């Protein structure tokens, strides 16, 4: 008897998130899903599953009428860092702005100091807690940025820890080099010199070590100008690394347009984007990554122009932006809920933002993000009556019954000395 399937999931409802299936959530109710060599090898109504006795099946998993979704994708995080910024949270509640705190040497720079001082082991332990919570909540793919080192040694340390964490949880980790996150104290008033370092030393070394899947920057009046970011993008391009950008988060600097010019995978935040920026993103196929956690936590009042993104056909992903300053959030379910309550997403649009579109924002759209024949069997099984429940709970990390993944191959062990 030929073994056609290693695992067959039965008695399941499938939220495929495949836009070509004309049903909300691309749903196939009363479905079955067969996995062979880590890939989806059969998907459809259970009644249509071939009855042929020659079809061998390894394990049969009864989903007991629950729902299978693609594994959740968190496509924008700064999850590896040391310490916390609870004191700054108190200061902001007493009236100090995020920008004021940054200009006075706090903000990102205070986390840079803590992260530089942390041993790899401490950084690993602190970050494990956060990634473990995400794993428990059904996240299978996480993008993790550097950017709290701002020197080569610490940036490399962060990226190595990120890769190591992926190994620990067998999660797919995409690493992003975010050297252009803030101006380090030793380069105060010499931002251009720091950009020289990023372009001429850091990007080449990080590319050589194979530690980054993409390059990001922070284009903002408290960070880097479009001209400086352009140089970073040119260096990334030279080393064949795709780019993405923190753009129009606190003001409109034209960052989204610049990102589109470099065919960026995504432009992220975007509360202050204008219609021209949106048109440029649409033409370039750049995904809008919206971060309702940062909007909420900074008590922002300007919402990203969700209707305009829709009008111009720019796909919208969602992510936690997990970081110690503007979004100390690890729950994907809280983000799904916030997108619905704060940004007027439907629960279906929200789930697409943390599955299919999140995958596209990482350049992984052909591998993960939907339940489709040939894609990775990267999925979560939930004991829920309807997928809208994933956006419904507030403050509870809804845990899947089971997470099933293909063998994740991009997490080679990156050694470091403790």
For Fe ion, the binding residues (CB under 5 A) are 321
Question: Containing H/E element for 290?
Answer: strand 287-290
Question: Containing H/E element for 355?
Answer: none
Q: Shortest approach of ligand DI6 to residue 251 CB, angstroms? A: 12
Rg of the chain (C-alpha set):
21
Q: Are 232 and 217 in contact (CB under 8 A)?
A: yes
Closest CA to 314 of 278, 347, 342, 267: 278
Give which of ligand DI6, Fe ion, none residue 82 binds (C-beta under 5 to 8 Å, depending on kind). Answer: none
108 binds ligand DI6 (CB under 6 A): yes
Q: Shortest approach of ligand DI6 to residue 103 CB, angstroms? A: 13
**Which one of residues 106, 107, 347, 387 is an interface residue with ligand DI6 (CB under 6 A)?**
107
Instruction: Select 155 or 321, whichever has its Cβ closest to ligand DI6.
Output: 321
**Segments of 181-278 assigned E as strands:** 214-217, 244-247, 266-269
**Which one of residues 249, 253, 320, 411 is an interface residue with ligand DI6 (CB under 6 A)?**
249
Instruction: Select 151 or 321, whichever has its Cβ closest to Fe ion.
Output: 321
Q: Shortest approach of ligand DI6 to residue 410 CB, angstroms? A: 24
**Which one of residues 226, 325, 332, 347 is an interface residue with ligand DI6 (CB under 6 A)?**
325
Q: Shortest approach of ligand DI6 to residue 218 CB, angstroms? A: 4
Candidates 14-22, 48-56, 152-160, 319-327 — which segment interacts with ligand DI6 by CB under 6 A?
319-327
Q: Are 255 and 268 in contact (CB under 8 A)?
A: no
Q: Shortest approach of ligand DI6 to residue 40 CB, angstroms? A: 35
List of residues 6+ apart from 50 with CB closer than 8 A: none
Give which of ligand DI6, Fe ion, none residue 141 binds (C-beta under 5 to 8 Å, depending on kind). Answer: none
Site mask for ligand DI6 (CB under 6 A), range 168-207, x = bound: -------------x--------------------------
Give which of ligand DI6, Fe ion, none residue 326 binds (C-beta under 5 to 8 Å, depending on kind). Answer: ligand DI6
Q: Shortest approach of Fe ion to residue 220 CB, angstroms? A: 11
The SS3 assignment for 67 reads strand
List of residues 6+ apart from 248 with CB closer than 8 A: 255, 256, 267, 269, 270, 271, 272, 273, 277
How many helices, marked H, and strands, marked E, lie in the chain? 16, 15
Burial of 237 (0-12, 13-18, 19+ CB in 10 A): middle
The SS3 assignment for 321 reads coil
Instruction: Select 40 or 294, whichever has its Cβ closest to ligand DI6.
Output: 294
- CA–CA distance, 149 with 144 (Å, rounded to integer): 14
Q: State the residues that interact with ligand DI6 by CB under 6 A.
A: 78, 107-108, 111, 181, 218, 246, 249, 294, 321, 323-326
């Amino acid at each position: 008897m030929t073994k056609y399937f290693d695992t067959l999931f039965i008695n399941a409802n499938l939220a495929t998130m495949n836009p070509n299936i004309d049903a909300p959530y691309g749903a196939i109710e009363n479905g079955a899903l067969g996995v062979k060599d880590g890939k989806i090898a059969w998907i459809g109504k259970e009644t249509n599953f071939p009855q042929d006795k020659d079809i061998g099946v390894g394990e049969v998993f009864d989903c007991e009428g629950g729902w299978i979704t693609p594994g959740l994708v968190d496509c924008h995080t700064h999850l590896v860092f040391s310490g916390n910024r609870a004191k700054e949270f108190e200061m902001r509640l007493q009236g100090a702005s995020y920008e004021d705190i940054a200009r006075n040497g706090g903000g990102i720079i205070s986390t840079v100091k803590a992260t530089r001082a942390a041993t790899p082991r401490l950084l690993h332990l602190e970050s494990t807690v956060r990634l473990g919570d995400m794993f428990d909540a059904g996240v299978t793919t996480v993008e993790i940025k550097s950017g709290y080192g701002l020197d080569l040694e610490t940036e490399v340390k962060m990226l190595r820890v990120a890769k190591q964490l992926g190994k620990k949880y067998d999660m797919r980790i995409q690493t992003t080099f975010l050297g252009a996150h803030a101006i380090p104290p030793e380069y105060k008033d010499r931002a251009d010199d720091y950009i020289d370092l990023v372009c001429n030393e850091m990007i080449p070394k990080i590319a050589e070590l194979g530690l980054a899947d993409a390059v990001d920057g922070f284009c903002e009046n408290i960070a880097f100008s479009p001209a400086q970011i352009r140089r970073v993008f040119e260096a990334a391009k030279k080393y064949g690394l795709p780019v993405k950008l923190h753009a129009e988060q606190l003001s409109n600097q034209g960052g989204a347009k610049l990102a589109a010019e470099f065919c960026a995978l995504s432009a992220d935040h975007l509360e202050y984007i204008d219609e021209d920026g949106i048109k440029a993103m649409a033409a370039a196929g750049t995904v809008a990554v919206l971060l309702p956690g940062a909007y909420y936590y900074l008590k922002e009042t300007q919402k990203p122009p969700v209707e305009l993104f829709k009008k111009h056909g720019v796909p919208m992903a969602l992510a936690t932006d997990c970081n110690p300053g503007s979004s100390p959030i690890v729950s994907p379910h809280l983000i799904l809920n916030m997108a619905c309550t704060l940004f007027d997403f439907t629960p279906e649009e929200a789930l697409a933002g943390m599955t299919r579109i999140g995958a596209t924002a990482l350049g992984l759209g052909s591998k993960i993000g939907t339940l489709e024949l040939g894609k990775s069997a990267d999925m979560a099984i939930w004991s829920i009556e309807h997928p809208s429940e994933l956006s419904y709970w507030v403050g509870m990390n809804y845990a899947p019954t089971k997470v099933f993944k293909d063998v994740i191959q991009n997490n080679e062990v990156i050694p470091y000395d403790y």
